[in-house]
Structure 1
Amino acid sequence: MNALLSVLHFCEVHGPSVLFCTQTIHQRKSTTLNLEALQINPQLASSPHSTTSTTASVPVQKNQNRCSIQQSPTFSSLSSSTSTLSQSSCPACTAQMPLINVDDAELPYKFEANGMITKDDEDDTVFYLGCRAPQQQHLYAAVRNACVRSLTVEFCPGKEGPILFGDDENGYVMSYIFKLRDSQARGKTRYYAFTMLMTDRIFLVSCWPFLVKVFRSTALSLQEKAEAVYQREREYRERHPPTSLASGSARRSSFAPTSPEQFLRRRAHTPMRSLADLLGIEDIYAQIHRQFSFILKSSARRRIEKVTKGRRAGPLYIQMMKEREKQTNQASETSNEDGPKWSKQSDVLCGTLVEPPLYSPQAV
């Protein structure tokens, strides 16, 4: 199944943005998997609690400054796309990848991975690649279009829930929009969305009940964690009110006018938090990648094309077919009696067709 799952977010400063994507990669058995640009931590690529039953496929060797990874042209174009996206300075618009620990004898250090990958334990040729953006440029354009439509154009009652849209050119999208509480955001709410993009509309519609169920359960889990962080911050602010606000309330009225420029400038001084900080989970994208891998694997099994034998013909059906064949033969005999006939007269056409002459080959 060729599908792509993604996490979308509406940033107050930059608008709709694509945070994270997971897609299925089919690798031939004769070639090796190239993950040179990914620099993946194998401990985070798979977990014993993962529902995907996948294992990490990245060999890491010690006494090296970087991960030693096999080479293949499959993932050669990933480094350019991920390096461009990593330049974004907004934490809310960038996915925080796992940190890789390098045990250097002189100076141990850490660096951020470019993505994550899991391997299907039942099929050696199937991998699930998770990174900030898709590999192919046309896929990124389709995901970007789905991001803008999901968070700005398409309407969902209550601004939460599933929606379906798309076309043959950009693919078909099933998007599940949900909210997360954030005490530092405008309206104390942040909007996110889970999307599945594929070209097969019938396949996507057939997976609709399963996708809605699993997206809803994942969104509810994230909302519970965000609500817990929101309540802790609220209790902390009640116990420790800001000193600047308490001292300035006596000198300045709360009804003083505020210009739009001051409103935007005040919010711009406080950068928006990332999803990991909003939920209090450092490896949130590793967990999302495992969940997306499970969804892709389960969705592919929900519809498998196969050839099945039909029912045997019953007695009534056989009798009807014999009667139909008999009527057809009678009609053909009647038409032959009334129609033109071949004449045995040579080269004479008298209301009948002339029998064509027969020629025998002669040796020259």
Structure 2
Amino acid sequence: MNAIIALCHFCEAHGPGALFCTQTLRETNIHQLDINFDSDRKGCPACNSIGNTIGLVSKDPDSNAHFVSSQVPVINETIELVKKAAFRSISSEVSSPPGSGSGDGGMVFFGDAQRGHVLSHTFHLVDSNARGFSKLFSIVVLMKDKTFLLNIQPFLADCLKKISKELQGYASVVHEQDLKAQGSQRAQRMSQGYTGATSTTRSLAELTGKESIFAYLHAHFSFVLWAGVRYLTESITLGSPSVPPWLGRDTEEGFTMVQTDKEGYMLRRMGLGKAEDESNQIDERTKAKYSLRMFRQILKSDFPSVCFCVLTGIQIVIRGPFVKGACLVRNLKKLIPEPLHKLVRARAESYKAANECRIINLSQDAVAPNPSAGIMRIDLVDDRNKDTVAVCVWEGDLPLKLPMLLQKITKAVDEELFTDLVLDKHLRALIEEWKNKVVCIRKMSSNQDVAKIKRIMGIQPQDQTLITYWYSHL
């Protein structure tokens, strides 16, 4: 989701301001980001979060999108927009339940095309040192797309309220500890009518008692940005509505969280959702080197056969060095829809039967079954020049007419005008197109309807093997 999520607060010394921001970056080299900001609030603990030279980064391996959190937005053009949104969300655009007087309310929408459209959620955190014994905070979501922002408002409202409730729970625990340690400070201060003796510049980490509070916020904000695009999706349905894709998933995508500074990268790792795929442990340079086109050259004339086996569910057993085998598995996964990824193993200690795994990567010394019509075996070895050679053995035969999807994939891989990034996006569009065709067929209640919808969508007899395999797993 192309948006900025910011935690804002009211500082008694400096007024309203943004404290912590998370935004989505695509096609950006994170290693080259210069997270070094000048701030007029450097000496104020309440106005500082993770510092002016540190950022937190999460990566979505499927879309290669990075979710970057920092004290100030890393894109200079958005800094002023976030400042204005923070000022309005704290000073004037505040909503509270009728008669509550708490300022903890629902979502407020404001903004325009020039300054961005904003959804704001305002709340209080109890603070025994603050004036009025509470501090005002808000979480704002800033986006250029007004329609999309308003359409996902129910999802955002639920997420932001849960985040604020979590922060309020942490602050309440610290407040109770303060009362026990200091006695009835509230009564003492009210009787004296004096508030100057106490410090009001506690940081959010001190206020909540959580040293890693900004790591938690980064995880929450990254999830909201990642899940926002999956909350509102467009799909083709015939008959009764289908289950939304974000509810029908067997697994959840994962994030890799790292802390970056000028001295290094990958200082910290945190997981969200499912366990990280082992192939994601391979560095980006190696992944770029062993691209789908590289394996097209390695597999040579066997490339169409390998793709046919992937698309139709014939088991592929790969043996060789882990990095090369895992990269091959990673590229073959691009040829099948996400629900079928559960039948893929980037690394396995021993062989798994075809009903458990359709693509499996084994070590060079692992025991593997002999090739047959139902099993293709690929051995990755190095020749004398240390170039990778693929030895493919499969006793099956390619049909005279290849499935239409396989023809399009082969044509796309051979298209010289496509960069690797464009190729990946094009393949994803092709896979989604054929996935939707299978979903439409599942909606049909009779054989006559199935035959009719196949004619409408241009499904040919040579596509039936692919349709049958995908049908059983979507």
Report the TM range for the smaller structure's normalisation.
0.5 to 0.7
Listed as ranges, the matches of 1:157-196 within 5 Å are 157=96, 158=101, 159-161=103-105, 162-196=107-141
Alpha-carbon distance, 1:116 to partner: 0.7
Alpha-carbon distance in structure 1 between the residues aligned to 2:148 and 2:89:
20
Match of 1:25 in 2: 25
Task: Tell me the SS of whatever aligns to 1:13.
Answer: coil
1:90–1:271 CA contact under 8 A, matched in 2: no
Alpha-carbon distance in structure 1 between the residues aligned to 2:82 and 2:112:
13
Matched, 1:92 2:46: yes
Matched, 1:119 2:59: yes
Alpha-carbon distance, 1:154 to partner: 1.5
Alpha-carbon distance in structure 2 between the residues aligned to 1:149 and 1:288:
22
Alpha-carbon distance, 1:236 to partner: 1.4
* AA matched with 1:140: I
Alpha-carbon distance in structure 2 between the residues aligned to 1:307 and 1:224:
43
Match of 1:63 in 2: none
Matched, 1:2 2:2: yes
2:95–2:108 CA contact under 8 A, matched in 1: yes
Alpha-carbon distance, 1:96 to partner: 3.1
Does the C-alpha gap of structure 1 residues 283 and 86 become closer, same or farther in structure 2, counting only changes over 3 Å?
A: farther
* AA matched with 1:135: V
Alpha-carbon distance in structure 1 between the residues aligned to 2:136 and 2:41:
23
Indicate which of 223, 230, 236 corresponds to 2:181: 236
Alpha-carbon distance in structure 2 between the residues aligned to 1:96 and 1:27:
25
Matched, 1:273 2:202: yes
Alpha-carbon distance, 1:153 to partner: 1.6
Match of 1:289 in 2: 218
1:88–1:94 CA contact under 8 A, matched in 2: yes
Once the two structures are superposed, residues 192-227 of structure 1 have per-residue CA deviations (whole angstroms, 9 ceiling, x without a partner) of 111100011110111111111111111111111111
Match of 1:216 in 2: 161
Alpha-carbon distance, 1:113 to partner: 5.4
Task: Tell me the SS of whatever aligns to 1:10.
Answer: strand
1:6–1:18 CA contact under 8 A, matched in 2: yes
Alpha-carbon distance, 1:175 to partner: 0.6
* AA matched with 1:92: A
Alpha-carbon distance in structure 1 between the residues aligned to 2:15 and 2:23:
24
1:21–1:131 CA contact under 8 A, matched in 2: yes
Alpha-carbon distance, 1:271 to partner: 4.7
1:23–1:129 CA contact under 8 A, matched in 2: yes
Does the C-alpha gap of structure 1 residues 163 and 212 become closer, same or farther in structure 2, counting only changes over 3 Å?
A: same
Task: Tell me the SS of whatever aligns to 1:17.
Answer: strand
Once the two structures are superposed, residues 173-203 of structure 1 have per-residue CA deviations (whole angstroms, 9 ceiling, x without a partner) of 0011000000000010101111100011110
Alpha-carbon distance in structure 1 between the residues aligned to 2:141 and 2:221:
10
* AA matched with 2:159: V
Q: Unaligned 5+ residue runs, structure 1? A: 36-71, 98-111, 310-364
2:57–2:69 CA contact under 8 A, matched in 1: yes
Task: Tell me the SS of whatever aligns to 1:282.
Answer: coil
Once the two structures are superposed, residues 22-41 of structure 1 have per-residue CA deviations (whole angstroms, 9 ceiling, x without a partner) of 0000016xxxx243xxxxxx
Alpha-carbon distance, 1:17 to partner: 1.2
Identity %: 32
Match of 2:249 in 1: none
Match of 2:70 in 1: 131
> Greater relative contact order (Cα 8 A, min sep 6): structure 1 or 2?
1
Once the two structures are superposed, residues 287-340 of structure 1 have per-residue CA deviations (whole angstroms, 9 ceiling, x without a partner) of 10011000000001123456889xxxxxxxxxxxxxxxxxxxxxxxxxxxxxxx
Alpha-carbon distance in structure 1 between the residues aligned to 2:141 and 2:84:
13
Alpha-carbon distance, 1:126 to partner: 0.6
Alpha-carbon distance in structure 2 between the residues aligned to 1:230 and 1:270:
15
Alpha-carbon distance in structure 1 between the residues aligned to 2:81 and 2:25:
18
* AA matched with 1:122: D
Matched, 1:147 2:86: yes
Alpha-carbon distance in structure 1 between the residues aligned to 2:155 and 2:131:
33
2:128–2:178 CA contact under 8 A, matched in 1: yes
Alpha-carbon distance in structure 1 between the residues aligned to 2:169 and 2:120:
20
Alpha-carbon distance, 1:228 to partner: 0.9
Task: Tell me the SS of whatever aligns to 1:135.
Answer: coil
TM-score, length-scaled by structure 1: 0.58
Alpha-carbon distance in structure 2 between the residues aligned to 1:120 and 1:308:
28
Alpha-carbon distance, 1:134 to partner: 1.1
Task: Tell me the SS of whatever aligns to 2:163.
Answer: helix
Match of 1:13 in 2: 13
Q: Unaligned 5+ residue runs, structure 2? A: 239-474
Alpha-carbon distance in structure 1 between the residues aligned to 2:237 and 2:180:
63
Alpha-carbon distance in structure 1 between the residues aligned to 2:158 and 2:151:
13
Alpha-carbon distance in structure 1 between the residues aligned to 2:5 and 2:61:
20
2:20–2:69 CA contact under 8 A, matched in 1: yes
Q: How many residues get paired?
A: 231
Consecutive aligned runs of 4 or more in structure 1 exceeding 3 Å deviation: 304-309
Alpha-carbon distance in structure 2 between the residues aligned to 1:297 and 1:17:
25
Once the two structures are superposed, residues 102-159 of structure 1 have per-residue CA deviations (whole angstroms, 9 ceiling, x without a partner) of xxxxxxxxxx951110111322x21101101112232111111101110002231342
Alpha-carbon distance in structure 1 between the residues aligned to 2:134 and 2:85:
21
1:180–1:192 CA contact under 8 A, matched in 2: yes
Alpha-carbon distance in structure 2 between the residues aligned to 1:12 and 1:182:
13
Indicate which of 199, 205, 227 corresponds to 2:150: 205
Listed as ranges, the matches of 1:29-68 within 5 Å are 33-35=29-31
TM-score, length-scaled by structure 2: 0.45
Task: Tell me the SS of whatever aligns to 1:85.
Answer: coil
